[in-house]
Amino acid sequence: MMPARTRLVCLLLTLALLVPLSALPGAASPAASAAPAVSAHSAVLLDADSGTVLYAKDADTRHPMASTTKIMTALTALETAGADTVIRVAPEAVGVEGSSIYLTEGEELTLEQLLYALLLESANDAAVAIACGVAGSVEAFAGLMNQKAAELGLRDTQFQNPHGLDAQGHYTTAHELALITRAALENDLFLRMVSTRKTTIPHAGREGVRLLVNHNKLLRLYEDAIGVKTGYTKKSGRCLVSAAERDGVRLIAVTLNAADDWNDHMALLDYGFSLRESVTLCEPDGICLMVPVVGGVGEAVFVGNPQGLSCSLPREHPEITRTVELPRFLYAPVTDGETVGQVLFRCDLDGDGRAEIIGRTPLAVQCGVERAEPDKGFFAWLRALFGL
């Protein structure tokens, strides 16, 4: 039998989950900055956590995107082949115009090494080497890139090559390029690469190594920057995708054809951080509930949240409510760690009276219960009769 004190504690915790969750106490939120004026023809600022657009300027118009193409090149390659895959440089990858690390035919590098060259030095020869090594040809790899774009639900993005040199039918929009970047940043290796300022890779057939230096100056200019990619052709103008993270909030900024892209991005990121904050919805193991068990050696089990949860919200957000979804009872056996329910967190962000789900966390059994063996026969009847 569970002690009365324990049952009372769990009852109080259960009731606490049925009332609104107020904003956490803390210092007053800083005033939001004014929306910046940017030099770019197209621009967007995205909250990477929720996908919310915080700023847009002609964000849905198709434009060439130069070497920011390589964000999708890297994402496609990482989802198609292992980072340790050894790639033999094809003849098509030798002497590609534009940025290069001067690959030689037949030299061998891992996909990871070529991706560092692609993302830091913006090497077009590395892009072709990756495409041929992963898919057999530039055309086949571009097909994989377009397939990934379709999986992401993009309608105004199309790729003809893996490097971003000007080509008919090679385009995206500021908004869709931000969505590509959002997906790429979920890959830990991609994030590690685009946040690297410099590294080295082998120089096949020669002594020494190739030094790779990241072209993204925001890694030095902006304290919270974590990536991601520059680009330029005469047709596209200066293109830049950046990401930054501060106090649990991650932002993605994109500018296409910008005369002053570095300053555009710093202004956009400052603006975004003035609008958003990271809110802790629950701490790990911060929820404790009790669920009755039928047919078990124990009467009930404790359930809780093994993981914490936070999300990015407007600094002046409405109250957050949370709802428990749990069965009224469980049937034994119940195993340790078994997910039996969830807690949903909601907030009326649109102000229309309909709170949307902003997060959810599973509820798992903390200590399992075995099935009780039923008593059988005459002796079981006697034990029951005399209370034994």
Chain segment 15-69, per-residue pLDDT in tens: 344 444 444 333 344 556 789 999 999 999 999 999 999 999 999 999 999 999 9
Please name the residues in contact with 45: beta carbons below 8 A apart, sequence gap of 6 or more. 53, 54, 55, 56, 251, 252, 253, 268, 269, 271, 272
Instruction: Please give the share of the chain, as a percent, with pLDDT higher than 70.
Output: 87
3-state secondary structure (DSSP) of residue 282 = strand
| Helix, strand, or coil (residue 359) | strand
Residues of the chain with CATH 2.60.410.10: 4-25+280-365
Handedness of CA 168, 173, 176, 178 (dihedral sign): positive
Q: Which residues of the chain have pLDDT under 50?
A: 1-29, 378, 381
Predicted pLDDT of residue 350: 86
Rounded-to-integer distance, Cα 214 and Cα 196, Å: 7
* Structure tokens that stand for 304 in this block: 């809780």
229 is catalytic: no
Name the nearest CA neighbour of 174 among 49, 78, 38, 77. Answer: 38
pTM: 0.85
Predicted local confidence at residue 1, as pLDDT? 41
Q: What's the pLDDT score for residue 298?
A: 84
Active site residue 39: no
pLDDT of residue 383: 60
Q: Which CATH class is domain 4-25+280-365?
A: mainly beta
Q: Which of 42, 57, 70, 312 is catalytic?
A: 70
| pLDDT given for residue 373 in this prediction | 78
- pLDDT confidence of residue 376: 52
Range(s) for CATH 3.40.710.10 in the chain? Answer: 42-258
Catalytic residue among 42, 57, 67, 195: 67
* Other Cβ atoms within 10 Å of 265 Cβ, number: 31
In order of 69, 214, 298, the CA distances from 165 in angstroms are 9, 19, 68
Peptide bond preceding 333: is omega within 30 degrees of 0, i.e. cis? yes
8-state DSSP, 66: G
- Whether 122 is catalytic is yes
Q: Are 304 and 287 in contact (CB under 8 A)?
A: yes
Instruction: Identify the pLDDT of residue 256.
Output: 98
CATH of 42-258, one of 2.40.30.10, 3.40.50.1000, 3.40.50.2300, 3.40.710.10: 3.40.710.10
Among candidate residues 42, 57, 99, 122, the one labeled active-site is 122
Measured at the alpha carbon of residue 235, what is the angle toward residues 230 and 236, in degrees to the nearest 5? 35
